[in-house]
Amino acid sequence: MTDKQPHQITDVFPYLRTRDASAAIDFYQRAFGAVEDFRLTEPGGRIGHAELKLGATTIMVSDEYPEYGIHAPRESTPTGSAIHLYVQDVDAMTQQAVDAGATLIMEPADQFYGERAAKVQDPFGHEWLLGSQIEEVSPEEMQRRFNAMFETGEEEC
Please name the residues in contact with 113: beta carbons below 8 A apart, sequence gap of 6 or more. 137, 142, 145, 146, 157
Structural domain boundaries, residue 133 = 81-152
**Residues 65 and 97 grouped into a single domain:** no
Letter string b/e over residues 87-120, b meaning 16 or more CB atoms within 10 A of that residue's CB: beebeebbebbeebebeeebebeebbbbbbbbbb
Measured N-to-C along each axis, helices 21-32 and 90-100 cross at an angle, to the nearest 10 degrees, of 150
Query: Confidence band (pLDDT; 50, 70, 90) for 1?
Result: very low
Q: What is the total count of domains within the chain?
A: 2
**Residues 37 and 88 grouped into a single domain:** no
**Residues 30 and 93 grouped into a single domain:** no
The residues with which 104 forms a beta bridge, in sequence order, are 120
Cα–Cα distance list, 156 to 3, 142, 146 (Å): 40, 15, 11
Tell me: pLDDT of 157 over 50.
yes
Q: Which residue among 50, 72, 94 closes a domain? A: 72
**Residues 47 and 89 grouped into a single domain:** no
The answer to whether residue 16 sits within a structural domain is yes
Whole-prediction pTM:
0.85
CATH code of the domain in which 38 resides: 3.30.720.120
Q: Which residue among 72, 95, 110 closes a domain? A: 72
What mean pLDDT is reported for the chain? 90
Query: Confidence band (pLDDT; 50, 70, 90) for 4?
Result: very low
**Residues 68 and 98 grouped into a single domain:** no
- Start-to-end CA span in the chain (Å): 34
